[in-house]
Structure 1
Amino acid sequence: MVRFSDAGLRYPDPSGGEGDETLKHLSFTLPRGSFTWLTGASGAGKTTLLRLMQCALRPTSGEVEILGVRLSQAKREALPPLRRRIGAVFQDYRLLPYLSAFDNVALPLRLAGRSEASLRPDVAELLRWVGLENRADSLPPQLSGGEQQRVAIARAVVARPELLVADEPTGNLDPRQARRLLALLTEMNRLGTTVVVATHSEELVAAFPAPVMTLERGRLVAFGHPDEAPDADPAASAWNNAPEQGPTGTWDDGPEPTGTAWDNRPSPATTTWDDAPDPAAVAWDDAPGTSPGPASRGGAAASPHGTPDRRPPGAPPDTPPYGMRGRRDG
């Protein structure tokens, strides 16, 4: 669950004093397993709101509760385990430039203790799904902006987080790739992940109807389903009692995701969420100076190229990759 209670945030001004309020008196609840669009003009506060949900910031007023943890009261050492339960897609990608596409996607699983043998198929399948199976060994500087964005998306979802926040994840994608991404996010939502997606795309919101939060100058001005009349008081609206379900609708050129083996595959005993390093900290500040590279994956057998298709038997070509493991249920 994500709960904001009269939450606000001020960034400090250059002189060290208090700056203007970036977010003001936000009160809302996102039920567990919900899917929510976040909209608003540039500068409305969408990225700052997502940073609070990622536990990258603490509110300067009010309270923010993320997955049962109150940020204003949480000790510093409690935040890394919480962040490991959250996946994030950033506007600026934040890929490690000295790691290949494969190794960037594999990083959260390696930090969580997954063995190379168990993580390789999951990473390869996600790279196939985002159309980068032939760029697995490329470094980020060798990839286009859209390709880097797809790597960032794959990295965010590979560990099947409990909460996924995405800041303009389709901004550099063509329409077909955008539709494939949304099919993947909605399937994750169907399996229980709470998803929040910031977007300027009215087409995506219309194609995948789901509750919409609208920010304006740091305030929540609307919170409801697109086909409902706006509520005068978002904090007291029916959103707080919204059913725990994701968006509806299908795309013209892709099948609607169906249940698969992703639901039933056991989580490996080697995955230890509470004791693993913090990906949010390690990935940017403390990551190893060299990439493990294809050779460290065990030669030809470890290469992501030629990995058997891990979709269910008879699944159509656009079926999302449901074989990923490692998420803690409950």
Structure 2
Amino acid sequence: METKMTDETLANEAAKPSRLVDARGRGTKIEFRGEEEFHACWYPVALSSEVERGSLIGAPFLDGRVIVYRTSDGIAHVRSAYCRHLGADLSVGRLVNDTVQCPFHFWRYDVAGSCVDVPAGDPPPPYAKLFSYPTAESLGLIWAFNGETPLHPAPHFEQSEAALVIEAYRNPLPMKVESSIVFLNSFDLQHFRVVHGMPIEVDLDRVTEHEHTLGYEARVSTPEFGEVVQDRRLWGVNTVTIASETGGRKFYQLHSLCPVENHATQGFLVSATPAADFAEDDSARALLAQSREYALRLVNEDAPIFDTLSFRRDNLTASDRFLAFGIQYIRRYPRAHPGRELIR
């Protein structure tokens, strides 16, 4: 079901802070989630390039650790990292015939996450099973969904990957803050204007919500690209994709956030442009480089702010109508943590 964000909704949300503010205090502390839960989103856990066929790596995820590996069929898998025997980190082990072999006693787990071999000769315990996250691969990233069943497809661009040149990379500056607070920047028009030097206009009547994603058009002036129209899509409460055009060439960007501790976030970034004539087109190559510089500029300007932020909803103003809506959108977003007992 598709719903629109109306002016009445925004006006109501922007008006709330005036009733909450105490002149002697700092306003309302916003808790977007509890300590034992995270939002039910697709989270990027690794770059596709980091996980070759037959390889196995470990990655911090939510408030624990997972393994990410690729079997001989090329399919990526994300599972809880600790052996169900004595808790050895399976990322220190290896893949043997598409099974994960523990480094401690060589117990092996199959593609369903079940223990299938105990070299000591004992039958595998029936409950010796890893937690398996729904896994997807798109835009040069391996994604894990925090939940039993995904609420929407993994983030992607409107154009097929086969028609694009894609560069995926990590934000070199992890931030000491909850990921959804960083994501709230997507609604913070004041921030874009003053911190990033990007005048931005959003037609709030045309913001739509559908299946746990939001869509809106932003008219932005950037130092890198000049005046552009951005088709923005917000996936869950951690990922933004942007489609734009400059100089007659389309380009795409993604910024996605993965919680790697209770209050620490690793960002992943993607830049892409149509592959047609890319090898012979220096302007396309330059556009990708420019897109990367643009993305890194934004995250570098934000990192010291988020590393020191003590987030409260306090004195919002009329310019914060979209931000007020974003706060409510994140607060009502579904939460889960089905793998909590096995990833820690």
Q: What TM-score bracket applies, with the shorter chain setting the length?
A: under 0.3
Q: Which one has a bigger Cα radius of gyration?
A: 2
Greater strand content: 2
**TM-score normalized by structure 1?**
0.23
Q: Tell me which protein shows more helix as a share of its residues.
A: 1
Q: TM-score if structure 2 supplies the norm length?
A: 0.23
